[in-house]
Amino acid sequence: MKYRSTRDPEANLLNFEDTLFTGLAPDGGLYIPEYVPSLELEEILSWKSLSFSELAFKIFRLFIDQSEMNDNDLKSILKTSFDTFSHVDVTPLKKIKSNLLMLELFWGPTFAFKDVALQCCGNFFEYFLKKKNLNLKPGEKKFEINVVCATSGDTGGAAIYGLRGKENVKCFVLFPKGRISTVQEAQMTSVPDANVFNISIEGTFDTCQEIVKNLFSKKEFKREFNLAAVNSINWCRILSQTVYYFYSFLKIYDSEEKTKIQYSVPTGNFGDILAGFYAKILGLPIYKLLVATNCNNILHKFFETGVYERPSTCLSSFSPAMDILASSNFERLLWYVERGNLKTLSKRELNNEKNCSLKISELMESFKACGKFGIDSDKFELTKELFRSSTTDDKTTLKTIEKYFKEYDYLVDPHTAVGLNALENLNYESEDGVISVCLSTAHPGKFPEAVLKSTGLEFEKFAPKVLVNAMTLEKRCHNIQNGGKSDGLLNEVEEYIRIKNRC
Ligand SMILES: *Cc1c(COP(=O)(O)O)cnc(C)c1O
C-alpha cells in the first residue's frame, strides 16, 4: 500500500514509513491510501473471536507492505501498544440500555481516546528509527527526530505518554499557560523522562499552533532537526482508530438480525469519526455516523447546508478538545465526496482522481482566501447516506452529564456528553432495530470542573488514583514569554529546541 496527497494531481506515492514521518504533505494536502481495500462481510465476521491487537493486525496489515515490516514485527508493535491499556478489551463496551452502548476509549495511560493512536505512533516511530540507524557507517550521525506539537490538553498528554523514553526521539509539547485543565497540565509536566519537554506559552492554543506551523515552515530548521508531527492529521492515527469500530461492531452485530449499528462521535478535528468512515468504506456495514459538535459547529453547519464556513471566533466550552475553528481532517472526507462515490473505492480511476485533487486544491484555496466554500448538491446528497450531525451548547452538556449520572448511574466527561446529546437530538430511539454506540472519548476525571458543576462530585471521589497523585508530583516545564518582538515566541522556542539538542 502506498499513500498520496489529497491535493496532488500527479498522485505521487509514498510508503507507510515516509507517510508517518512526513505528516502533512508539502503541497498542504493530507495523505490518503492510494486505494481502500474492500472486505467481504463474511471475512470481517470471521474476526469475531480475535483479541483487540490481533484484530488491529488484520487491519494494519492491509495498509503496510510486507517489505516495510514483516508480520512478527507488526504484531509485536501492536501488542506492545495496546498492552499499555488497563482493560483486557482495550476499548470495552458498556451497556446503558438495550439500544444504547458506550464505547469506552479511555483506558489508556492518559485516560483519553487519543492514547489508542499515539501509543501506536510512538512505537512505529521507534521501530523505523531503529531500522534507519541499523547500518550507520563509522562517523555517521545517528538519525534522531524532534516531535513538536501544540496542545489544548489531550493531544500533548497522549503524545508524551506515547513517546516518553523512546530512543532517538525528543518530544516538545507547547501548551497555552493557564488555559488547559490543571489535571491535564499535571499529567504532562510530571513525566520525568529526559526526552520530554513541556513548554508553556503566554497566549492561546492558536498561538501555540501558529508557532508549531511556523517552525515546520522553516525548511532549514525542519531539516536540521528532523521535525516530525503527531497531530491528528497523521495517517497512522486515523488507521489506529479504525480498529475500535471493527472491535465494537463485532461484539454487537448479530448476523441473523443484521443489526443496524450507528456511532455517535464527539467531534473536533474530524479524526475520530474519519476512522469510522474508513471502517465503513473498508466494508464494515456501519448504519450511520453522527457528527456530534459543541458550540463550535462548523461541521454541523456543513452537514446541514453543504457550505463549509469558518466562524469569526473560536468559543471556549466545557469540551475544550472540540473547540476548533476548522477541522483539519475534513479534507480527507471531502476528497472521497468529490470523487463522487463512497462505495467502490478499491479500483483506481486515475482520471477522476486527478480532477478530484484539483478540485480539493481549489476548495481549500477558497477556504484559505475567504474562509468559505460550498459543494455541489449531488455531492452533498452523498454525505447524507452516512452522516448526520448535531450541535450542543454548554448548558445542555452539563445537563446531559447530570442526567446520565442520575438516571443510569453512569458518569461521562463533557465531550462524551455532547455525543450522548447528539443521539437525543436526533431522536435515536425512534428507529426500530437500531443500536446506538456513543464513543466515550475521555474519562470524566480529566474534566473535574464540568463534573463538579453538573453533579457536585469532587475530583478525588471519582478520578483515577494516578490522576489524583499526578497533582502532587514534581513538575517540569519551561515557560516562554514574548520578549516584546513579533517573532519573539517563535525564536525562543526555536532556540530552546536547539539547546536541548546540543546536550
Ligand atoms: C481530541 C478529542 C475529541 C475530538 O476528536 P477529533 O478526532 O479531533 O474529532 C473529542 N473528545 C476528546 C476527549 C478529545 O480529546
| Ligand 1 atom nearest to CA at 415 | 11
pLDDT of residue 486: 59
| Catalytically annotated residues | 114
Q: How far is CA 261 from CA 160, 251, 266, 450, 471, in A?
A: 34, 11, 17, 30, 40
Q: How far away, in angstroms, is 321 Cα from ligand 1 center? A: 5
The label of the residue with cell 489529497 reads 6
3-state secondary structure 189-239: HCCCCCCEEEEEECCCHHHHHHHHHHHHHCHHHHHHCCEECCCCCCHHHHH
The label of the residue with cell 484484530 reads 55
Residue 356: all three cell numbers together: 478530484
pLDDT of residue 164: 97
Q: How far away, in angstroms, is 224 Cα from ligand 1 center? A: 32
With a 6 Å cutoff on the Cβ, whether 201 touches ligand 1 is no
In sequence order, what are the residues at sequence separation of 6 or more whose Cβ sits closer than 8 angstroms to the Cβ of residue 174? Answer: 148, 149, 150, 151, 156, 199, 200, 201, 208, 211, 212, 493
With a 6 Å cutoff on the Cβ, whether 264 touches ligand 1 is no
In sequence order, what are the residues at sequence separation of 6 or more whose Cβ sits closer than 8 angstroms to the Cβ of residue 273? Answer: 263, 265, 267, 289, 291
Q: Residue 102's CB: how many other CB atoms inside 10 A?
A: 24
pLDDT along the chain (503 residues), means of 10: 96 96 92 94 97 98 98 98 98 97 98 97 97 89 94 92 96 93 93 97 87 91 94 95 98 93 97 98 97 97 97 91 91 94 74 92 95 96 96 98 98 98 96 96 95 96 94 94 74 95 85
With a 6 Å cutoff on the Cβ, whether 298 touches ligand 1 is no
pLDDT of residue 484: 57
Q: Among 103, 104, 113, say which to mutate for ligand 1: greatest number of ligand atoms within 8 Å of CB.
A: 113
With a 6 Å cutoff on the Cβ, whether 272 touches ligand 1 is yes
Q: What is the pLDDT of residues 391-450, one digit of tens each?
A: 999 999 999 999 999 999 999 999 999 999 999 999 999 999 999 999 999 999 999 999
Strands 227-228 and 307-309, by their bridges, are unpaired
Beta bridge partners of 94: 102
Q: How far away, in angstroms, is 375 Cα from ligand 1 center? A: 26
With a 6 Å cutoff on the Cβ, whether 294 touches ligand 1 is no
Beta bridge partners of 478: 199
In sequence order, what are the residues at sequence separation of 6 or more whose Cβ sits closer than 8 angstroms to the Cβ of residue 11? Answer: 4, 34, 350, 353, 354, 357
pLDDT of residue 463: 95
pLDDT of residue 88: 96
Q: Among 30, 91, 104, 114, say which to mutate for ligand 1: greatest number of ligand atoms within 8 Å of CB.
A: 114
Q: In the chain, what are the helix, strand and coil shares in percent, each to the nearest 5?
A: 45, 15, 40
Contact 12, 22 (CB under 8 A): no
The label of the residue with cell 473505492 reads 345
Task: Find, among 284, 481, 361, 447, the residue nearest to 9 by Cα.
Answer: 361
Nearest CA to ligand 1 atom 14: 321
Distance CA 11, CA 22 (A): 16
pLDDT of residue 403: 98
Q: How far away, in angstroms, is 7 Cα from ligand 1 center? A: 25
Q: Among 322, 329, 389, 401, say which to mutate for ligand 1: greatest number of ligand atoms within 8 Å of CB.
A: 322
In sequence order, what are the residues at sequence separation of 6 or more whose Cβ sits closer than 8 angstroms to the Cβ of residue 375? Answer: 306, 308, 334, 337, 338, 363
Task: Find, among 3, 2, 7, the residue nearest to 335 by Cα.
Answer: 7
With a 6 Å cutoff on the Cβ, whether 415 touches ligand 1 is yes
Q: How far away, in angstroms, is 267 Cα from ligand 1 center? A: 6
Domains of the chain: 236-455 (3.40.50.1100)
With a 6 Å cutoff on the Cβ, whether 288 touches ligand 1 is no
Distance CA 120, CA 14 (A): 20
